[in-house]
Structure 1
Amino acid sequence: MMLSQATADFVAHLEQVRRLSPATARAYRADLADLAATTGDVEIGLIDLEQLRDWLWRATQRGDARSTIARRTSSAKGLFRWALDAGLVDADPSLRLVAPKRGRTLPRVATADGLDGVLADAERAAADGDPVALRDHAILETLYGSGVRVAELCGLDLDDVDLDRATVRVLGKGSRERTAPFGRPAVRALSAYLTRGRPALAARTDETTPAVFLGARGRRIGPRSVYDLVARAVGPLVGSSAVGPHALRHSAATHLLDGGADLRAVQELLGHASLGTTQIYTHVSNERLAAAYRQAHPRA
């Protein structure tokens, strides 16, 4: 089988059997298309370890980030492991392929006091009943209050929100469903938006949608609009205009751990498949602890 056809079948396997997210599947497809551009669209069984190493070396020479090269290594390993199981190759040439260690980048985290100010500003802006301001306040409170991902927030339908129990039901990575709680401020913001803001936005189009959060034209809001909202609201707080919705997710996780929440509980809240993914927030909390110690302790 040619490499291009093997790639198409492998990505289809990821989407249909392993149920990876569309974004992850796109990343695999792009990585393996780059491999084909380097080796040529040859029979997959003809590709050897040296060709794979040359492919990664070229990426290094281009200046690709270590995280990108590590992901490409993972893509190649996944493809050839699948190909071996499917009987398309006699041996796996990627077994001795070594990925570079990824540098640890601590997520940007806003202070709890700073976010209180941001959310208070959003609440004041929504006080006059403007539907977009009501929506924006509800989005910010939901992102920070529940720690959901931006794709999960945009995918919320009306039936997914339970204001009485203060929970949202979301479909996370790998099509894993979970229920995320949120606090009273988010309940108030969502209630105001659903009562006064959403109907006004929904009236701007003839289409009917079950989406909770609507754009200015009355259709389901997209991630780009949420990114722009968070960048405007939270960017000045963390000193970067490139900040996105994940900053609120990072902040929620860190503030939970700062408040004494159990790491396993935070893992469940965020929908992490691995506890190791959640543990990065303990490093953030330790950094904050160390900074507070250096600033306040007389023997620091």
Structure 2
Amino acid sequence: MSSEPEGAFHIADVSSITRGLLRATLRASDGVPIEAVHEPHMRHTAHMEHTGSVADTAIVVAHGFTGSVDRPAVRRAARAFRRYAGVVTFSFRGHGGSGGRSTVGDREVLDLAAAVAWARELGYARVATVGFSMGGSVVLRHAALHKDSARTRTDAVAAVSAPARWYYRGTAPMRRLHWVVTRPAGRLVGRYGLRTRIHDRAWDPVPMSPVEAVPLIAPVPLLIVHGDRDPYFPVDHPRMLAGAGPSELWLERGMGHAENAADDALLARIGDWLRTGSRRDGP
């Protein structure tokens, strides 16, 4: 499994529109169907129902490994971000109602690109991305690889609980995750226990790592958020990311890992940062 260059994007099916909420099936550039949901900015919902207009900014949310568009933590993040912008959530390949199999951060860049392109198709002039854990690695790589594409680029990016480098096994949770991803029995656990379909082939070639992507992101604003009690990736990961290129680093005291550990106050601060591309009130 390996990354592919940007390709065609289109909406395969729009299944429902309810009070401003829009569910659609997108196609990544390699043809994988991706389920996605658009929810307008809270302050613009009533106006949108009457005029069809949208707010200026959309936030595209990239979930962590084993997440999906309908998981409670993802829905909670979407509700928080809707205070600041329209929100697009989606399920990575191999997750939820999307097709394909997970490549654990490699070809998922194509899924995010499809979601960003959809946000622009919906009329948003400015699109920001936020990713959690695996999704954090994806938003970093996407920002680097797509910054010259008018249709799929991001205007601001936040990576929460993201790894800096591949193949990290320095914590017990990451050793368990590697077992799930690399062993046949682990992939069965992933499919039936974690509801995540995982590709059985190793990366070939190995994709650009998150820390390699960071220097390529500027001048797009970049925010790195990480908990000092993250059980998966210790704080040398966010420090390595922040040290690799222009960025803003928030080390959150007492925070664990990813969207499940991000409280409402932190989500609000991230949403405000994504709307403006800078911090107005410090963490």
TM tier, smaller = under 0.3
Q: Please identify which structure carries the higher helix content.
A: 1
